[in-house]
């Protein structure tokens, strides 16, 4: 059997990586000079690299390894399914047990009126599905002009041309011809950066009302859907003010516009409930899922769709699907992952025990001189770095401090991500209170070191 365990020196692997491997969201020349950090194995919340460092993964990979690394049950579920039926498709009136069971399970977990699942291989694919689903739905309802989809600047919905267009990352739109037509963006509810003199509550309402203004500008008869993450993740963990979602709900109801809740990060316990929609009080018509669905052990995503949409779409052939829609091995692993989350009471423990513990510790970082606000919902949080807390000032060289802090975290064997000058945590949901203490200790040390380094470099 071919083993991929590391036997080569790190420098050799780095050279091969630089020679042949194109990385996502990476400046290739910069990486070549530095050499990639090579992760070789992992267990619980701990990664190990090719140099033998043990690193606390406060990002759960890419916000996805909810049950933690090293769960044998998931390995066994994959192996058993591969032996029995490694692949079959779900096209052309065929099905298989893992897809049937997983769809049933998801219908049981999702809000009452969402009982139908269209599977995909990733969150991006699922959001591409959603674009076609909502437009086809309105077409079949006799309203083909309802095509516009409203999203938000600084949202992240994926990297394919469709989902990247839904997202509001201007740097992504600048490359490769995005956005596609009929996608519109409104401003995000980021009070810290954009709230000016308004109170958070006033600002939340103001940002929600931009949705109403956009609907009226486009014409209410032309708008198919609004898409949003219950709590923006990749944009920097932007926790909206409490006034935001109730006002958005009111507006969507008033104009009969579908709501797609992108639960790719928020789903499967991350916010302390099964879905972020519960935590934020949202009533979606479609939920996008991926990541925590399989805890990242297999690539799988999907759209959980309302009874109403499923019924209308079911009236004709929906000409859409991926080879790996409902992949049996991915479905079997996802089912086992949901069993673990449920039977081990992981979501409940997050809500009642570890998330409140993390919140207290994480918010205490706000007393650090570099930290403006520290915001956290469940197991996803961020701190905003600032040269002046009182005025919520931004650094002139946006992102430099975040990068510096991220590098100090790495040096201290802690993975935190930086988005501009926000530092993010999103640890595996199984993180213990001792590990949370360690996370905070290393984060504080890294902030101290980043501040010293910034002073040396004249950034402060
Ligand atoms: N939606 C959200 C909210 C996400 O955070 C992501 C990935 N970070 C995606 C969609 C895209 O998922 P994927 O990378 O699996 O395509």
Segments making up each domain of the chain, as ranges: 10-70+345-456, 73-343
Alpha-carbon gap, residue 393 to 192, rounded angstroms: 9
pLDDT at 2 over 60: no
Say how many Å lie between the CA of residue 26 and the centre of ligand 1. Answer: 17
What is the separation of C-alpha 228 from the centre of its chain, rounded to a whole number of angstroms? 11
pLDDT at 325 over 80: yes
CATH level 2 (architecture), domain 73-343 = 3-Layer(aba) Sandwich (3.40)
pLDDT, average across residues 140-154: 98
pLDDT, average across residues 115-121: 98
pLDDT at 7: 73
Q: What rounded mean pLDDT belongs to the chain?
A: 97
Q: What is the pTM of this model?
A: 0.98
pLDDT at 4 over 80: no
pLDDT at 72 over 70: yes
Say how many Å lie between the CA of residue 283 and the centre of ligand 1. Answer: 20
Q: Between vectors from CA 429 to CA 411 and to CA 400, what angle results, nearest 5°?
A: 35
Q: Give the CATH fold of the 10-70+345-456 domain.
A: 3.90.1150
pLDDT at 6: 62
Determine the atom of ligand 1 nearest the C-alpha atom of 266.
3
Determine the atom of ligand 1 nearest the C-alpha atom of 63.
8
Pocket lining for ligand 1, CB < 6 angstroms: 62, 122-124, 127, 156-158, 229, 233-234, 262, 264-265, 290, 301
Residue 66, Cβ density class (10 Å: 0-12 exposed, 13-18 middle, ≥19 buried): buried
pLDDT, average across residues 141-151: 98
Say how many Å lie between the CA of residue 2 and the centre of ligand 1. Answer: 32
pLDDT, average across residues 94-115: 98
pLDDT at 456 over 90: yes
Q: Between vectors from CA 365 to CA 360 and to CA 368, what angle results, nearest 5°?
A: 150
pLDDT, average across residues 145-156: 98
Please count the other Cβ atoms lying within 10 Å of the Cβ belonging to residue 207.
25
* pLDDT tens profile 17-51: 999 999 999 999 989 999 999 999 999 999 999 99
Q: Are the CB atoms for 18 and 11 separated by under 8 Å? A: no
pLDDT at 408: 98
Say how many Å lie between the CA of residue 68 and the centre of ligand 1. Answer: 19
């Amino acid at each position: 059997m071919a083993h991929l365990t590391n036997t080569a020196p790190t420098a050799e692997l780095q050279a091969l990586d630089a020679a042949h491997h194109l990385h996502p969201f990476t400046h290739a020349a910069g990486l070549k000079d530095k050499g990639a950090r090579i992760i070789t194995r992992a267990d619980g919340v701990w990664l190990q690299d090719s140099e033998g460092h043990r690193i606390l993964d406060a990002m759960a990979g890419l916000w996805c390894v909810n049950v933690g690394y090293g769960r044998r049950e998931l390995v066994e579920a994959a192996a058993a399914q591969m032996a029995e039926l490694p692949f079959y498709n779900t096209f052309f009136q065929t099905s298989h047990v893992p897809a049937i069971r997983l769809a049933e399970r998801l219908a049981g977990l999702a809000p009452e009126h969402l009982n139908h699942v269209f599977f995909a291989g990733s969150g991006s694919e699922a959001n591409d599905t959603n674009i076609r689903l909502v437009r086809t739905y309105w077409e079949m309802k006799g309203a083909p002009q309802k095509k516009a989809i409203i999203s938000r600047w600084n949202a992240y919905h994926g990297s394919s041309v469709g989902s990247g267009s839904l997202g509001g990352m201007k740097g992504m739109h600048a490359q490769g011809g995005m956005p596609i037509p009929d996608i519109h963006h409104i401003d995000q509810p980021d009070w810290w950066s954009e709230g000016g003199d308004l109170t958070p509550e006033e600002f939340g309402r103001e940002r929600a009302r931009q949705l109403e203004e956009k609907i009226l500008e486009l014409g209410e008869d032309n708008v198919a859907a609004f898409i949003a993450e219950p709590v923006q993740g990749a944009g920097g963990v932007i926790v909206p003010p409490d006034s935001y979602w109730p006002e958005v709900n009111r507006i969507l109801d008033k104009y009969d516009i579908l709501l797609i809740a992108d639960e790719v990060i928020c789903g499967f316990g991350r916010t302390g409930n099964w879905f972020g929609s519960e935590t934020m009080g949202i009533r979606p018509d479609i939920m996008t899922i991926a990541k925590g669905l399989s805890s990242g052990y297999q690539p799988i995503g999907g759209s959980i769709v309302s009874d109403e949409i499923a019924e209308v779409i079911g009236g004709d052939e929906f000409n859409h699907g991926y080879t790996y829609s409902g992949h049996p091995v991915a479905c079997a692993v996802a089912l086992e992952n949901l069993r673990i989350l449920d039977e081990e009471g992981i979501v409940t423990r997050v809500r009642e025990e570890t998330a409140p513990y993390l919140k207290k510790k994480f918010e205490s970082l706000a007393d650090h001189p570099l930290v403006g606000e520290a915001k956290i919902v469940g197991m996803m949080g961020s701190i905003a770095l600032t040269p002046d807390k009182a005025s919520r000032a931004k650094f002139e060289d946006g992102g430099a401090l975040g990068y510096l802090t991220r590098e100090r975290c790495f040096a201290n064997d802690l993975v935190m991500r930086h988005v501009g000058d926000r530092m993010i945590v999103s640890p595996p949901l199984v993180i213990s209170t001792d590990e949370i203490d360690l996370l905070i200790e290393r984060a504080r040390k890294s902030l101290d070191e980043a501040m010293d380094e910034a002073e040396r470099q004249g950034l402060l």
